[in-house]
Amino acid sequence: MKRVRSSAAGVIRDKSVATLPAASGGRGVAARFAAASRLRERRLVREAQRGSAEALEVLFRRHWAGAYRAAWVVMRDAAAAEDVAQEAFISAVRALDRFDRRRPFAPWLHRIVVNRAIDTARSRALRREVHAATAKDAAAEPPPGPLSDELAAALAELGPEHRAVVALRYLLDYTPGEIAALLELPRGTVNSRLRRALDRLAELLREERP
């Protein structure tokens, strides 16, 4: 596992630890930090499996921001993101006894979040059963949140599958190979989705220039 998440401040990446000056330990510090973090997480999972609500809360607080933000990037709707992230945690809780502690917790959770967010975004696009007033509310422009207006506009033009790949790559810091494994997609598909997202965004940025 490559990343550790704090409760509210978002993601503390191992990469940022790896950029420490060589004199203070450099890669060695990063590796030790990551290993310690893995051990802590394994211990938390074990305690949660044994019935410790405190351990579960630490895991929850540690992973909420990533789960919620990923869902938000895919759906661009705070209420829907909350639902999806919450349901993902409930799924994880219900399957906790079957969880293999040797595996990292975050990819397991992120897989649930992203797949569920894609499904929800897809079905929302298809559903037209609400009346005009409700539909208008749902279609209202979401606040930009972590995205600038241009970034939000560019991502909005992509399908949920593309936004999901962007969230996994740039928000949660997975490599294309890890994303391919998480979403059970060919690596080429992941790369092409990433490239398309970047191209679209670059195009918009070019248009903005004088």
Please identify which residue in 14, 47, 161, 173 interacts with other proteins, judged by CB under 8 A. Answer: 173
Shortest distance, position 28 Cβ to other proteins, whole Å: 25
Query: Do 38 and 49 contact (CB within 8 A), yes or no?
Result: no
Shortest distance, position 70 Cβ to other proteins, whole Å: 9
Q: Hey, which residues between 14 and 33 contact other proteins (CB under 8 A)?
A: none
Contact stretch for other proteins (CB under 8 A) within 25-33, 34-42, 167-175, 182-190: 167-175
For the chain, how are helix, strand and coil distributed in percent, rounded to 5?
75, 5, 25
148 binding other proteins? (CB under 8 A):
yes
Please identify which residue in 18, 151, 158, 181 interacts with other proteins, judged by CB under 8 A. Answer: 151
d(CA 62, CA 22): 28
| 28 vs 95, beta carbon nearer other proteins | 95
d(CA 166, CA 124): 20
Instruction: Enter the DSSP assignment of 169.
Output: I
Tokens of 170: 């740039």
Give bridge partners of residue 13 from the DSSP assignment: 3
d(CA 191, CA 210): 31
Please identify which residue in 22, 23, 126, 140 interacts with other proteins, judged by CB under 8 A. Answer: 126
Q: Hey, which residues between 175 and 204 contact other proteins (CB under 8 A)?
A: 195, 198-199, 201-203
Tracing tokens 């895919």 back to the chain, one arrives at: 74
Shortest distance, position 183 Cβ to other proteins, whole Å: 14
89 binding other proteins? (CB under 8 A):
yes
Q: Hey, which residues between 48 and 77 contact other proteins (CB under 8 A)?
A: 48-51, 53, 56-57, 60-61, 64-66, 68-69, 72-73
- Helices 149-156 & 187-208, crossing angle to 10 degrees? 130
Cα-to-chain-centroid distance, residue 176 = 14
| 30 vs 59, beta carbon nearer other proteins | 59
- Helices 78-94 & 105-126, crossing angle to 10 degrees? 130
81 binding other proteins? (CB under 8 A):
yes
Shortest distance, position 23 Cβ to other proteins, whole Å: 26
Identify the sign of the CA torsion 73, 74, 76, 81. negative
123 binding other proteins? (CB under 8 A):
yes
142 binding other proteins? (CB under 8 A):
yes
